[in-house]
Amino acid sequence: MRFEDSNNSGDPDRRPDETNGHANGNGGGHASERLVPADYNPGVVTVLLILEDDGQQRTTRAALHGLPGVEIVGERTELRSGLLLARQKAPRVVLLDLPDDYEEALTAAGHFKMDAPDTALFLLSNSLDPQLLLRAIRAGAQEVLKKPLDRALLQEAVERVSRSGAARSASGTRARSIVTLFTIKGGVGSSTVAANLAVALKANMGVETALADFDAQTGSSAHLLGLRAERSMSDLLRAPRIDSATLRMNLLPHSSGVNVLAQPEDLTNLEPITPAQAGAVLDALAATHDVVVVDAPHTFDEVSLEILDRSTTILVVGELSIPAIRAARRAMELLDRLHFTNVPDRVRLIVNRSTGTRGLITLDQLAEAMQMQPYHTITNDYRRVFASVNAGRALCQEDPESPAAKDIIALAAKLSGKQAPAPQAEESIRRGLFGKKVLR
């Protein structure tokens, strides 16, 4: 069940001192529209408690009151009203007590975390069994603490939030959205879509965007945008630490304004990446960009799972062919088994090279095979896409009136919540194989 904010003046669980502020009327709104309290102080870690047990409330309150720089901004005993209050108060930490039957609470916490990615989610549980920990990770929890609460462990967890920047920026406008394009089958054009989507988000939607190439084997992002990978992900991984400063040194600027973290040109320079490093890279990118577009590896391994865990949106890319549909269905089944689909609209199907009703396989047949409707389709515009790929030019920048470019720009508009630009009134332009403009 998705919890929506509403006028809850009749909330029986509301306290007299917690009536200020306005609820976010769209529980599934964009992160860039999050409310920030007028008294927000970046030096204070604000905590909101959602604890059913009176004894647990007293113990937790006492533990937090003894920590420097921590302020309790609200308390609730009931899940729904607690998460509604958290949307109003926008605390840096929500501390949620999990019942033994935790499925509903984790699902609700996952919904909240998608709407408030900068709020750290702490979970209290009687058990730390592996299944619970996996589900907690999928819900976006930063910490799972065992009851009875250990004050020292709580203090360490709060200090990690304060140090790591898991809380929102002082301006509160950073979306921290990570959009990952994923497929377990190569050759469906996911890298081309990722590169052009990043360009469309920056050039057409005005969103500060980074493109992160985690597909070490193919490593085509730099080439697709006509860049030479003089600096790469491997250089970043060899640095003493992964932070914003070292990240900036290894980003490639594209003419559209997109910052590209590429794979090295020479495979002999390839540096293996660990899951922890992948997470650190994404954290650093998300801290300095509104949207991070990820070209993910084509496999389910520990690095891929780390990337998927941190993704706000996962776009499974397929096309209208039997092998591609089979691969997309297997990917969806695995994502469902790993609970990524528990949060509505987090995992979506993108159909590349769509032929509509003209192909041997139709979109209706695809929907029947996948048991879901595609979120977006990109027209099969082979000649012009082929020309842009060979020339190392972004289709959405160099040939924005081409059918495929229009579809990718429309996808960028969907994901960013902004309106796609109106079609150009002047005569449209196409480009030949080597990027030469030809009027048509």
Rounded Cα distance, 390 and 226, in Å: 10
Identify whether 148 is preceded by a cis peptide bond (ω within 30 of 0): yes
Rounded Cα distance, 300 and 331, in Å: 9
Sign of dihedral through CA atoms 270, 274, 277, 283? positive
Q: Read off the pLDDT of residues 35-74 as tens digits, 9 standing for 90 and up.
A: 334 344 556 889 999 998 888 888 888 888 878 888 898 8
- Give helix then strand counts, H and E, for the chain: 16, 15
Distance of CA 235 to the CA centre of its chain: 24
Let me know: does 415 contact 313? Beta carbons within 8 Å: yes
Residues written for the chain:
440
Q: Helices in 311-353 by DSSP H: which ranges?
A: 322-337
Neighbour tally for 26: CB within 10 Å: 11
Let me know: does 343 contact 309? Beta carbons within 8 Å: no
Rounded Cα distance, 178 and 313, in Å: 6
Neighbour tally for 410: CB within 10 Å: 16
Sign of dihedral through CA atoms 421, 422, 425, 427? positive
Neighbour tally for 220: CB within 10 Å: 19
Give me the DSSP letters along 26-64.
Answer: -TT--GGG----TT--TTSEEEEEE---HHHHHHHHHHH
Distance of CA 437 to the CA centre of its chain: 36
CATH topology of 16-164 equal to that of 177-439?
A: yes
Nearest to 217, CA basis, from 139, 303, 332 = 303
Structure tokens at 36: 């920030």
Let me know: does 413 contact 419? Beta carbons within 8 Å: yes
Q: Helices in 320-394 by DSSP H: which ranges?
A: 322-337, 363-370, 382-391
H/E element holding 293?
strand 291-295
Sign of dihedral through CA atoms 168, 159, 87, 41? negative
Nearest to 215, CA basis, from 197, 191, 193 = 191
Structure tokens at 187: 């050759």
Rounded Cα distance, 136 and 187, in Å: 34
pTM here? 0.64
Rounded Cα distance, 431 and 440, in Å: 10
Structure tokens at 337: 């088994």
Structure tokens at 313: 């949106």
Rounded Cα distance, 354 and 124, in Å: 47
Q: Read off the pLDDT of residues 201-251 as tens digits, 9 standing for 90 and up.
A: 999 999 999 999 999 989 999 999 999 999 999 999 999 888 888 999 999
Nearest to 109, CA basis, from 276, 348, 316, 339 = 339
According to DSSP, the β-strands at 313-318 and 347-354 are parallel
* Domain boundary assignment for the chain: 16-164, 177-439
Contacts of 247 (CB under 8 A, 6+ apart): 236, 261, 281, 284, 285, 288
Contacts of 279 (CB under 8 A, 6+ apart): 306, 310
2.102.10.10, 2.40.110.10, 3.40.50.720, 3.40.50.300: CATH of 177-439: 3.40.50.300
Topology, domain 16-164: Rossmann fold (3.40.50)
Residue 313 φ/ψ, nearest 5 degrees: -135, 135
Contacts of 398 (CB under 8 A, 6+ apart): 388, 391, 431, 435
Print pLDDT tens along the chain (440 aa).
222 233 333 343 433 333 333 333 333 333 333 333 434 455 688 999 999 888 888 888 888 887 888 889 889 989 988 898 888 888 999 999 998 888 889 888 888 887 788 889 999 998 888 888 888 887 888 899 998 888 888 888 888 887 655 434 443 444 469 999 999 999 999 999 999 999 999 999 999 999 999 999 899 999 999 999 999 999 999 998 888 889 999 999 999 999 999 999 988 889 999 988 998 899 889 888 999 999 999 999 999 998 998 899 999 999 999 999 999 999 999 999 888 887 788 999 999 999 876 778 999 999 999 999 999 999 999 999 999 999 999 999 999 999 999 999 999 999 998 876 654 443 444 444 444 444 43
Distance of CA 154 to the CA centre of its chain: 27
User: Quick check: helix, strand or coil at residue 313?
Assistant: strand
